[in-house]
Chain A
Amino acid sequence: MNPVGDIVTGINNGMREIWANKVRSVLSMSGIILGVAALVSMVGIVQGMLSTMRESFEQSGGVLKLEVHPKDAPESQQHIAGISPSMTWRDYIAIKKAIPLAKYTTPIVDMRWSRFVAQGRREGAMIDGVTPEHNNIETREIEYGRFIADIDIRQKSPVIVIGTHLRDELFPELQSAVGQKMRMQGQVYTIVGQFVEEQSLPGQKRRWNIENRKNYMPATTAMSRFQGDDKVNEIHIIAYQREDLPDLINQIENTLTRTHRGINDFEIRTQEDQLAELKKLENSFIYSLGGIAGISLIVGGIGIMNVMLASVSERIREIGVRKAIGARSYDIFIQFLFESIVTSVLGGIVGLAVSVGLLSIAQNLIPEGQAISIFPISAMFYGFLFSSTIGFISGIYPAMRAARLDPIDALRYE
């Protein structure tokens, strides 16, 4: 007995049989083709979209980021809530000075939508007052100039770091708007830095990308020139490592409870929830799409089994002849099993090719589609493995029926 030879012969005979019945083979393969194509392209698309989401989550600080937001004091403290100064610059300083577990800290002074004027053009955009460490938390690359510096904070400098959207609207003729001046609520600001343009999709107007619409000025400038007080809207903190998060949260809570005179009018939000949400989304996508594709593969397997059973009853005489000239039941079993396996493996290969086509279409059609890989290796591997296994399983029963035939009866069969 020679297993390698058996396999080679099995593949050869299987191919021959498939070639001899082209239409029938293509029909029986079609279920597997569609199943594999659906499985691989769906998983590929979802993986691509999720990796985009994950990327933007990581870019905005990832799971190490904490956000302190103001909230209403609890019922029991309502009557004394007024003694809290609420969230202020002092909170930021306190965290920065007292909590070594905080790697980077920045206040956010949210100035919402502001109108900018330069060279007779006007455009509205978001602007936040922040400190230099903001750019370590939300890591955006500066293409021209610099980010806000410590000296800007100390001197309350009238400087702005802009995204490409403002440059496009106010200085359309310039590549770099650094050094240009623009007015905001009657005051003149100098542009000291400009972010790299975040890539947009082919066909999508780049002004739609919200990242390019973000602009920053020193938090101290925002407070003194616009607010007239030292209130801040949020404080963002990055931890060194995930294990530090519980301690860090505790320490922030203690520190802010002191600065807020015991009033619990703030909350610390972690990104764990967001991460869990992301994971949940990932799983629900993969299970639901994988389930649908899996069912279509099983349907494909049933199709193969059906065709194989028909093929066995069609070839009863052939089986009789083969047995008479010396085939063992095992040889017949292997022959039919391999026919089924070869059918599904070929179907799987065609399905993989179809999925490459579908994925490259999806890459161009779906927003954020550039993250979709045309060759999602693991999905392809599992799709192929699954389809081959289906072929194997759906071939067993027909092959057993063929192998069990009695040669005398089979030869007599008309």
Chain B
Amino acid sequence: MTDSENIFQLKDLRRTYIVGSEKVHALDGIDLTITNREFIAVIGTSGSGKSTLMNMLGFMDSPTSGQMEFEDKDVTGIDGSGRARLRANRIGFVFQSFNLLPRLNVLDNVLLPLSYSTKKFNNHHDLGLEALERVGMTHRASHTPNQLSGGERQRVAIARSLINNPRLILADEPTGNLDSKNRGRIMELFASLMSEGITLALVTHDDAVADYAQRKIRMEDGRIIEDSKS
């Protein structure tokens, strides 16, 4: 099966939370298409809805209304375990605070998604080392996360997001906890992975980080107010 050109197509997507007696429109009518091999930065202040959008794209949340197509299939009303399946097989996550499991060593952290994936992988160990090599962390395979620096941890987290060959990698402020030197290195790593053919969407409020992306989406009050390609 060849991958379709469209990864995501969102039509008038809305997500409403009820906080106390008030309705909060976290997403207020989003129309967005994400195609293969794009590098997207979602920019916005806090409360602009960018995290909610990322949760939608990562199948962590479901929309209140609107339509959502993933790889040309309607996934609007998909249930919890169906969303989990899509996360396991099609999506990779990179978090601001790395979120490696402290008790597992680096290699086991990288391999963790495979235990939830329904795709068949042979020789996990080699796959893990391969993923670590792509982020330049092979030499740390048997260390625990606590023995690594912040930049190294994020590299391991990126290797973890790559392990199941995801269609889309979502990164939520991936450089938020890093110093400027490491920030640059991580972004360069993303850029080089882009050239290997991954599709990446990252959330940031840092314009310097956003400048690495080819496409910038600016959000405000749950709406896209700017969508520019460079």
Residues of A at the B interface (CB closer than 8 Å) are: 9, 16-17, 20, 317-318, 320-331, 407-408, 411
Which of B53-61, B68-76, B127-135, B148-156 is found at the contact surface with chain A? B53-61
On chain B, the residues within 8 Å of A331 by CB distance are 84, 116
On chain B, the residues within 8 Å of A325 by CB distance are 87-88, 92-93, 112-113, 116, 160
For the complex, what is the distance from the CA of A396 to the CA of B101, rounded to whole Å?
Answer: 23
Show 17 residue pairs from A and B whose CB-CB distance is below 8 angstroms, ordered by the A residue. Answer: A16-B103, A20-B103, A321-B99, A324-B58, A324-B93, A324-B99, A325-B88, A325-B116, A325-B160, A326-B164, A328-B85, A329-B81, A330-B81, A331-B116, A407-B60, A411-B95, A411-B99
A328 touches B95 (CB 8 A): no
Taking A329-B80, A411-B95 as contacts, is the C-beta distance between A322 and B116 under 8 angstroms? yes
Residues of B at the A interface (CB closer than 8 Å) are: 55, 58, 60-61, 80-81, 84-85, 87-89, 91-93, 95, 99, 101, 103, 112-113, 115-117, 160, 164
Interface-central residue, A317, A324, A328, by most chain B CB under 10 Å: A324
Residue from B55, B61, B84, B103 in contact with A326 in the complex, judged by beta carbons closer than 8 Å? B84
For the complex, what is the distance from the CA of A323 to the CA of B99, rounded to whole Å?
Answer: 12
Interface-central residue, B80, B84, B99, B101, by most chain A CB under 10 Å: B84
A324 touches B115 (CB 8 A): no
Closest to A16 in B: B103
On chain A, the residues within 8 Å of B160 by CB distance are 325
For the complex, what is the distance from the CA of A317 to the CA of B103, rounded to whole Å?
Answer: 13
For the complex, what is the distance from the CA of A312 to the CA of B104, rounded to whole Å?
Answer: 17
A327 touches B116 (CB 8 A): yes
Q: In the assembled complex, how far is the CB of residue B63 from the closest CB belonging to chain A, in whole angstroms?
A: 14
For the complex, what is the distance from the CA of A326 to the CA of B88, rounded to whole Å?
Answer: 4
On chain B, the residues within 8 Å of A318 by CB distance are 101
For the complex, what is the distance from the CA of A325 to the CA of B104, rounded to whole Å?
Answer: 15
A-B contacts counted at CB < 8 A amount to: 59
On chain B, the residues within 8 Å of A407 by CB distance are 60
A326 touches B60 (CB 8 A): no
Closest to B98 in A: A321
A322 touches B112 (CB 8 A): yes
On chain A, the residues within 8 Å of B81 by CB distance are 328-330
Closest to B112 in A: A325
For the complex, what is the distance from the CA of A17 to the CA of B84, rounded to whole Å?
Answer: 23
Q: In the assembled complex, how far is the CB of residue A13 from the closest CB belonging to chain B, in whole angstroms?
A: 9
Residue from A17, A326, A330 in contact with B87 in the complex, judged by beta carbons closer than 8 Å? A326
On chain B, the residues within 8 Å of A326 by CB distance are 84-85, 87-89, 91, 113, 116-117, 164
For the complex, what is the distance from the CA of A320 to the CA of B58, rounded to whole Å?
Answer: 13
For the complex, what is the distance from the CA of A321 to the CA of B89, rounded to whole Å?
Answer: 15
Q: In the assembled complex, how far is the CB of residue B144 from the closest CB belonging to chain A, in whole angstroms?
A: 11
B61 touches A327 (CB 8 A): no
By Cβ-Cβ distance, the 9 closest A-B pairs, closest first, are A326-B88, A326-B116, A328-B84, A325-B113, A326-B87, A321-B99, A328-B81, A327-B116, A20-B103
For the complex, what is the distance from the CA of A20 to the CA of B144, rounded to whole Å?
Answer: 13
Interface-central residue, B61, B101, B116, B117, by most chain A CB under 10 Å: B116
Closest to B80 in A: A329
Q: In the assembled complex, how far is the CB of residue A4 from the closest CB belonging to chain B, in whole angstroms?
A: 14
On chain B, the residues within 8 Å of A17 by CB distance are 103
Taking A325-B113, A328-B81, A330-B81 as contacts, is the C-beta distance between A408 and B88 under 8 angstroms? no
On chain A, the residues within 8 Å of B60 by CB distance are 323-324, 407-408
Q: In the assembled complex, how far is the CB of residue A412 from the closest CB belonging to chain B, in whole angstroms?
A: 9
Q: In the assembled complex, how far is the CB of residue A25 from the closest CB belonging to chain B, in whole angstroms?
A: 13
Q: In the assembled complex, how far is the CB of residue A333 from the closest CB belonging to chain B, in whole angstroms?
A: 11
Q: In the assembled complex, how far is the CB of residue B52 from the closest CB belonging to chain A, in whole angstroms?
A: 9
Q: In the assembled complex, how far is the CB of residue B210 from the closest CB belonging to chain A, in whole angstroms?
A: 23
Q: In the assembled complex, how far is the CB of residue B136 from the closest CB belonging to chain A, in whole angstroms?
A: 21
On chain B, the residues within 8 Å of A323 by CB distance are 60, 84, 87
Closest to B170 in A: A324
Q: In the assembled complex, how far is the CB of residue B176 from the closest CB belonging to chain A, in whole angstroms?
A: 14
Q: In the assembled complex, how far is the CB of residue B145 from the closest CB belonging to chain A, in whole angstroms?
A: 12
Closest to A320 in B: B99
For the complex, what is the distance from the CA of A214 to the CA of B44, rounded to whole Å?
Answer: 102
Given contacts A326-B85, A331-B84, A408-B55, 16 further A-B contacts (CB under 8 A): A16-B103, A20-B103, A318-B101, A321-B95, A321-B99, A322-B116, A324-B99, A325-B87, A325-B93, A325-B112, A325-B160, A326-B84, A326-B88, A326-B89, A328-B81, A408-B61
